[in-house]
Homo-oligomer: A and B are copies of this chain.
Amino acid sequence: MDIVSDDPVELRAAFRAGWSPRSTARLAPGRVQANLVALPAAAALDFAAFCQRNPRACPVLAMGAPGERVLHGVDLATDLPRYRVWRDGAAAEEPIDVAALWRDDLVGFLLGCSYSFEWALGQAGLVLRHWASGSNPPIYRTTIPCVPAGPFAGEVIVSMRPLRPADAIRAVQITSRFPRVHGAPLHLGLPGLIGVDLERRDGGDALLPEADELPVFWACGVTPESALRAAKLPFAITHYPGAMAITDLWNADLAE
């Protein structure tokens, strides 16, 4: 199935009708896409605190009331291309719809996503190398601890984009204006200081800096997934990696 539309309402309708593209990257240009975490109200207060204490990794764009299914135009149970269902801290199923699993005590969180800050970098004329190949930036687990909250804990996970120094400075300036979608880089250069060996990634696709580039690291939306594993909750729902919630929000409106 081809891309049906640039309109988030029509895209969500297509997902609801069963269209399940592998990734939502490059869909609905300019719109905010988000990570989804939905978990029982009994754990939601701790998770809200975890996000508040780790805002670079887990910036909250929206938080629903218990049972509330629609946030920023997205029906959390039907409007994403694919989901992950977590049972006892492990990914158990990967359905394209979770309406039958939705519960009245589930609290949904939409968390900012790197697609938004990459959009901002592109608007400023920067070109990220992984775009050309349609791949994902490499992901690394760092030795930087998250500030724990209740059962949620773990290390910050980062994505890495190689940039020439002047572009790295520009990228700090641009992404600093977008704290709700991971904001400024956490680190750049000297990967060993945060426990990263660039040759040994924990996710994403392979990409190494050239001789004229620095590795630039942003906190990554995979961090909450890692915290979910640590928390070993009996039940939770997230988006399937890359298959994000496409909201009605505009990236441009998130600029501080």
Complexed CA–CA distance, A189 and B184 (Å): 18
Binds B, one of A31-39, A123-131, A168-176, A227-235: A168-176
Are B184 and A165 in contact, with the CB atoms below 8 A? no
Are A212 and B189 in contact, with the CB atoms below 8 A? no
Q: Is A147 located at the chain interface by the 8 A CB criterion?
A: no
Complexed CA–CA distance, A212 and B185 (Å): 17
Q: Which of B164, B166, B184, B212 sits near A169, CB closer than 8 Å?
A: B184
Q: Is A201 located at the chain interface by the 8 A CB criterion?
A: no
Are B169 and A173 in contact, with the CB atoms below 8 A? no
Closest CB-CB distance, A58 to chain B, in whole Å? Answer: 18
Q: Is A149 located at the chain interface by the 8 A CB criterion?
A: no
Are B187 and A214 in contact, with the CB atoms below 8 A? no
Chain B residues contacting A212 (CB-CB under 8 Å) are 190, 193
Give the size range of A's interface with the partner.
10 to 19
Q: Is A146 located at the chain interface by the 8 A CB criterion?
A: no
Complexed CA–CA distance, A67 and B164 (Å): 45
Mark A residues whose CB is within 8 Å of B: 164-166, 168-169, 172-173, 176, 184-190, 193, 212, 214
New A-B contacts (10) at CB < 8 Å, excluding given A188-B189, A189-B214: A165-B189, A166-B187, A168-B188, A169-B185, A172-B172, A172-B173, A173-B184, A188-B214, A189-B189, A190-B212
A-B contacts, 29 of them at CB < 8 A, read: A165-B187, A165-B188, A165-B189, A165-B190, A165-B193, A166-B186, A166-B187, A168-B188, A168-B189, A169-B172, A169-B184, A169-B185, A169-B186, A169-B187, A169-B188, A172-B172, A172-B173, A172-B176, A173-B173, A173-B176, A173-B184, A176-B176, A188-B188, A188-B189, A189-B189, A189-B214, A190-B212, A190-B214, A193-B212
